């Protein structure tokens, strides 16, 4: 993810400098394979992992690495951990404590530590942004920043690309395994595809939207979750033929008893907007007190869609 971001930043660097007055250099890179690399004078990310000597910080301390890199901004893009959001929560906490803005594409910290990280960012006068966590880089969280005092009553949508690709391909006659392979080839499946297939990824996104936009922390076990594993190719094809295609639908609504939320396969009437969301496309429909129905469709995002959310967060963080 961050490699794609580096390419996008590089591609847009002249525009960022000339139009927004933003100059940047990469001073730190870290992953388990690469180690903790820092050099405040700048690192060429394309050369990392190619055997070129880099200045490596002794492992173990994110804060030492951030200090060595003299980091102003951290882009956190480790793999999703649905259990507790780690190590991303620790990485973001360390960045904010160090005095850097923290930007993440990782949903885990939003579900497991949103309020703590939001409050820490405010206390440090830094920004904690996470636009890429839901619907790639489509401006959802920043949209609601532009809607002061609006009340979100609920939402529904299709937020997981892997299952949407699998269902679309099964409608075309592929087996489940063939359809999953297709999703992996497209690069949309999470590292562990069971997270997608069993509805975890969609549930985490649903929880992130509820936590932030409905201002109500919710645990994943409070979301009724059912994946697409039990759907046979025949059932998927028949549903499509009958004009009620299956979709993995995320729902949340505010009720007298609190927020009710679910992620499960539903048959959607083919004339409904959700029924037309195929392959890697995604969709969300918000019900608010001012705008009764406000919908966003993201059609077939390209390679840079998620990285673009990180770039947009970066610009907002350093410009504000
Ligand atoms: N791909 C998308 O389209 C997309 C869209 C929206 C959001 N996201 C989110 O963005 C994040 C990154 O996505 P991705 O597709 O790039 O995931 P990925 O392929 O799993 O890559 C994760 C990266 O994090 C590193 N990493 C994992 N655990 C680490 C640890 N404990 N310490 C240090 N580095 C660690 C990995 O390198 P090592 O193995 O070398 O450590 C790898 O470079 C995920 O949270 C994902 O949910 C992805």
User: In the structure, which protein residues have their CB atom closer than 6 angstroms to any atom of ligand 1?
Assistant: 1, 30-33, 77-80, 87, 105-107, 132-133, 136, 191, 306
Query: What was the pLDDT predicted at 56?
Result: 54
Distance 4 CA to ligand 1 centre (A): 12
Task: Tell me what the mean pLDDT of segment 210-236 comes to.
Answer: 97
Give 149 Cα–ligand 1 centroid separation in angstroms. Answer: 35
Across 13-24, average pLDDT: 98
Does 138 score more than 50 pLDDT? yes
Q: Which residue has the tokens 């999953």?
A: 180
**pLDDT > 90 in the chain, percent:** 89
Ligand 1 nearest-atom number relative to CA 87: 31
Once rounded to an integer, what is the mean pLDDT over residues 1-6? 93
Residue with tokens 């992130």: 208
Digit-coded pLDDT (tens) for 191-214: 779 999 999 999 999 999 999 999
Domain 2-136+304-319: which topology? Rossmann fold (3.40.50)
Q: Is 47 a catalytic residue?
A: no
SS3 labels along the chain:
CHHHHHHHHHHCHHHHHHHHCCCCCCCEEEECCCEEEECCCCCCHHHCCCCCCCCEECCCCHHHHHHHHCCCEEEECCCCCCCCCCCHHHHHHHHHHHCCEEEECCCHHHHHHHHHHHHHHHHHCCCEECHHHCCCCCCCHHHHHCCCCCCEEEEEEECCHHHHHHHHHHHCCCCHHHHHHHHHHCCCCCCCCHHHHCCHHHHHHHHHHHHHHCCCCCCHHHEEECCCCCCCHHHHHHHHHCCCCEEEEEEEEEECCEEEEEEEEEECCCCCHHHHCCCCCEEEEEEECCCCCEEEEECCCCCCHHHHHHHHHHHHHHHC
Sign of torsion, CA 224 228 230 235?
A: positive
pTM for this one? Answer: 0.95
Confidence tier at 60 by pLDDT (50, 70, 90): low
Same fold, 2-136+304-319 and 146-298: no
Q: Say what the pLDDT of residue 53 is.
A: 43
In this structure, the residue with its CA closest to atom 31 of ligand 1 is 87
Q: How many CB atoms lie within 10 A of CB 302?
A: 10
pLDDT at 45: 87
Among 14-28, 178-192, 282-296, which is the least confidently predicted range? 178-192
Strands 246-255 and 223-225: unpaired
CATH class of 146-298: alpha beta
Provide the pLDDT confidence category of residue 282 given band limits of 50, 70 and 90: very high
Q: Using CA atoms, how far apart are residues 75 and 77, in angstroms rounded to an integer? A: 6
Confidence of residue 50 (pLDDT cuts 50, 70, 90): low
Q: Whose CA is nearest to atom 15 of ligand 1?
A: 1
Atom 44 (ligand 1): residue with closest C-alpha? 79
pLDDT band at 66 (very low <50, low <70, confident <90, very high): very high
pLDDT at 58 over 80: no
- Going by their DSSP bridges, the two strands 35-38 and 28-31 should be labelled as antiparallel
At residue 47, φ and ψ (nearest 5 deg) are -90, -10
Q: Give the nearest ligand 1 atom to 190 CA.
A: 15
Closest ligand 1 atom, CA of 34?
40
Q: Is the pLDDT of residue 302 over 60?
A: yes
Give pLDDT, residue 88. 97
Segments making up each domain of the chain, as ranges: 2-136+304-319, 146-298
Q: Kindly report whether the peptide bond that precedes residue 5 is cis, defined as omega within 30 degrees of 0.
A: no
Among the listed residues 205, 240, 247, 264, the single catalytic one is 205
Task: Out of 181-185, 211-215, 299-303, give the one with best mean pLDDT.
Answer: 211-215
> In this model, does residue 82 exceed pLDDT 60?
yes
Which atom of ligand 1 lies nearest, measured to the CA of 201?
Answer: 47
Q: Which of 320, 317, 312, 318 is nearest to 136 (CA)?
A: 312
Q: What is the pLDDT of residue 303?
A: 85
Question: How much is the pLDDT for 49?
Answer: 66
pLDDT at residue 246 tops 60: yes
Whether the CB-CB separation of 86 and 108 falls below 8 Å is answered with yes
Cα(47) to ligand 1 centroid in Å equals: 19
Residue closest via CA to ligand 1's atom 48 equals 105
Mean pLDDT of 104-111: 97
Task: Indicate whether 72 pLDDT > 80.
Answer: yes
User: pLDDT (tens digit, 9 = 90+) per residue, 308-319?
Assistant: 999 999 999 999
């Amino acid at each position: 993810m961050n490699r794609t971001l580096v390419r996008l930043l590089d591609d847009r660097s002249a525009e960022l400098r000339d139009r927004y007055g933003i100059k940047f250099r990469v001073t730190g890179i870290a992953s388990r394979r690469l180690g903790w690399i820092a050099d405040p004078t700048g690192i060429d990310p394309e050369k990392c992992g190619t055997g070129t000597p880099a200045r490596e910080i002794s492992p173990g301390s994110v804060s030492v690495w951030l200090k060595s890199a003299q980091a102003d901004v951290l882009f956190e893009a480790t793999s999703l951990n649905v259990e507790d959001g780690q190590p991303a929560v620790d990485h973001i906490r360390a960045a904010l404590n160090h005095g850097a803005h923290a930007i993440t594409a990782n949903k885990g910290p939003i579900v497991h530590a949103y309020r703590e990280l939001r409050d820490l960012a405010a206390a440090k006068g830094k920004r904690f942004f996470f636009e890429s966590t839901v619907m790639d880089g489509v401006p959802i969280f920043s949209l609601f920043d532009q809607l002061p005092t609006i009340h979100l009553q609920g939402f529904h949508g299709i937020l997981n690309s892997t299952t949407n690709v699998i269902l679309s391909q099964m409608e075309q006659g592929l087996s489940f395994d063939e359809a999953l392979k297709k999703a992996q080839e497209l690069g949309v499946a999470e590292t562990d595809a069971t997270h997608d297939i069993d509805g975890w990824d969609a549930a985490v996104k649903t929880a992130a939207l509820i936590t932030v936009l409905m201002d109500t922390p919710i645990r994943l076990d409070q979301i009724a979750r059912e994946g697409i594993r039990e759907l046979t190719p025949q059932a998927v094809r028949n549903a499509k033929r009958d004009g009620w295609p299956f979709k993995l639908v995320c729902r949340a609504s505010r009720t007298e008893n609190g927020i009710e939320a679910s992620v499960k396969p539903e048959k959607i009437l083919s004339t409904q907007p959700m029924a037309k969301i195929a392959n890697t496309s995604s969709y969300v429909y918000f019900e608010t007190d001012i705008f009764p129905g406000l919908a966003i469709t993201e059609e077939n995002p390209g390679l840079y869609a998620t990285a673009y959310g990180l770039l947009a967060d970066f610009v907002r963080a350093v410009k504000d």
